[in-house]
């Protein structure tokens, strides 16, 4: 009986052939694979442009640069997310402002976002946490206050809101292709998408030292490019992605859990997290039954040591503080068999 992993990246002969063909072509960077991958991903999610890059974190940094965010600016971020959501803001010299999350859906709370908007606010980063799509009110608030909306879509490939796919909801979206995500590229990787024509050309420049077609650097950028091998693998994985997401949704429906899904949306189920009062006991029981699980994310971002000098370091975000350490992620990936799903259900309800 195999141990059930929390995530399991997909790899087959088609992926292997794509990687070898890219290597054999002799064009390892800045070639047709990355260009096609960006075009295909944009079409898939409904954005007007997309460019592959080195990671989801790199995509977030690029989003800050695209919006000319820097010292003196503020960007509102959720208190519960992967730390890169906040540190991307800090890396360009701006200040992350931490907002609380929703009790039911665990995404950034629109009411707290609106309460924290100031004249310095340049953008809001809404995280589609675990694959749960953020509130539609977030876009309404950003439009009302004329500030940019960035989707941190690292965990939400295939999620939808009012029929619109994640990646085409905000001004800019940032995806991750880390091996645990809904699709991967054989290592580190990311994608930046935009719905704004005025940003599409800059999107392509920023990942290549801010250069245009004449190789003159027009603006400050750096090397964020994805390799041709990774892009080739990503193109294969993208062709399977809809089927994998359908299987994740099927698995999430089969597993007996209380997690809510927002109305007017489709969850992408990167993680199936359950809110419990006894996380250590649940994790130990799953472990005893050969099932991997873990807490996501136990420490609210504002309480991390990196933000020990931040004005909000000791300030409570009540829902984050109550929930963050009690969210246990259990397997929901598409490789699960019926027997394994039964094992998960049995272990959860002993």
What are the pLDDT digits (tens) for 81-130?
Answer: 999 999 999 999 999 999 999 999 999 999 999 999 999 999 999 999 99
Q: Tell me the pLDDT of the chain (350 aa) as tens digits.
A: 899 999 999 999 999 999 999 999 999 999 999 999 999 999 999 999 999 999 999 999 999 999 999 999 999 999 999 999 999 999 999 999 999 999 999 999 999 999 999 999 999 999 999 999 999 999 999 999 999 999 999 999 999 999 999 999 999 999 999 999 999 999 999 999 999 999 998 999 999 999 988 899 999 999 999 999 999 999 999 999 999 999 999 999 999 999 999 999 999 999 999 999 999 999 999 999 999 999 989 999 999 999 999 999 999 999 999 999 999 999 999 999 999 999 999 999 86
* pLDDT at residue 248, as a whole number: 98
DSSP letter (8 states) at residue 4: B
Domain 240-348, CATH 1.10.10.10 — does that match? no
- Beta-sheet pairing, 294-295 with 74-78: unpaired
Residue 266 zone, left/alpha/beta (φ > 0; ψ -120 to 50; rest) = beta
Which among 178, 138, 224, 172 has a CA at the least distance from the CA of 47? 172
Domain ranges of the chain: 13-236, 240-348
**Buried/exposed 80-114: b ≥16 CB within 10 Å, e otherwise:** bbbebbbbbbbebebbbbbbbbbeebbbbbbebbb
> How many C-beta atoms lie closer than 10 Å to residue 311's C-beta?
11
> How many C-beta atoms lie closer than 10 Å to residue 198's C-beta?
9
Which among 170, 106, 173 has a CA at the least distance from the CA of 142? 170
Contact by Cβ (8 Å): 76, 101: no
Topology (CATH level 3) of domain 13-236: 3.40.640
**Buried/exposed 226-265: b ≥16 CB within 10 Å, e otherwise:** bbbbbbbbbbbbbeebeebbebbbebbeebebebebbeeb
DSSP letter (8 states) at residue 180: T
CATH fold match for the domains 13-236 and 240-348: no
Residues 6 or more apart from 93 whose CB is under 8 A from it?
Answer: 70, 71
Distance CA 244, CA 308 (A): 40
User: Collapsing DSSP states into helix, strand and coil, what is residue 272?
Assistant: strand
* pTM (predicted TM-score): 0.97
Distance CA 228, CA 25 (A): 10
* pLDDT at residue 227, as a whole number: 98
* pLDDT at residue 201, as a whole number: 87
Distance CA 3, CA 290 (A): 5
Distance CA 350, CA 256 (A): 12
């Amino acid at each position: 009986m195999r141990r059930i992993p929390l995530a399991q990246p997909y790899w087959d002969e088609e992926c292997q052939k794509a990687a070898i063909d890219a290597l054999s072509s002799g064009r390892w960077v800045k070639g047709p694979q990355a260009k096609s991958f960006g075009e295909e991903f944009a079409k898939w999610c409904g954005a007007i442009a997309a460019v592959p890059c080195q990671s989801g974190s790199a995509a977030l940094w690029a989003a800050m640069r695209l919006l000319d965010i820097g010292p003196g600016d503020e960007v509102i971020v959720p208190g519960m997310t992967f730390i890169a959501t906040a540190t991307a803001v800090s890396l360009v010299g701006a200040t992350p402002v931490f907002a609380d999350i929703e009790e039911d859906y665990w995404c950034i709370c629109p009411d707290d976002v609106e309460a924290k908007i100031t004249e310095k606010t340049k953008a809001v980063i809404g995280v589609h946490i675990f694959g749960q799509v953020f509130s539609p009110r977030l876009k309404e608030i950003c439009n009302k206050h004329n500030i940019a909306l960035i989707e941190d879509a690292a965990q939400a490939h295939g999620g939808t809101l009012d029929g619109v796919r994640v990646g085409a909801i905000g001004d800019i979206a940032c995806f991750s292709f880390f091996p645990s995500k809904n699709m991967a590229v054989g290592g580190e990787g990311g994608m930046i998408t935009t719905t704004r024509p005025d940003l599409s050309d800059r999107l392509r420049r920023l990942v290549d030292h801010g250069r245009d077609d004449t190789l003159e650097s027009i603006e400050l950028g750096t090397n964020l490019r994805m390799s041709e091998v990774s892009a080739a693998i990503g193109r294969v994985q993208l062709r399977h992605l809809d089927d994998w997401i359908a299987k994740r949704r099927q698995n999430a429906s089969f597993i007996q859990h209380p997690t809510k899904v927002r109305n007017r949306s489709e969850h992408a189920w990167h993680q199936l997290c359950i809110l419990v009062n006894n996380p250590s006991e649940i994790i130990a029981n799953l472990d005893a039954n050969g099932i991997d699980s873990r807490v996501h994310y136990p420490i609210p971002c504002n309480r991390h040591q990196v933000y020990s000098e931040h004005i909000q370091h000791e300030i409570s975000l009540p829902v984050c503080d109550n929930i963050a350490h009690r969210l246990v992620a259990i397997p929901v990936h598409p490789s699960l068999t019926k027997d394994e799903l039964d094992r998960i259900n049995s272990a959860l309800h002993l």
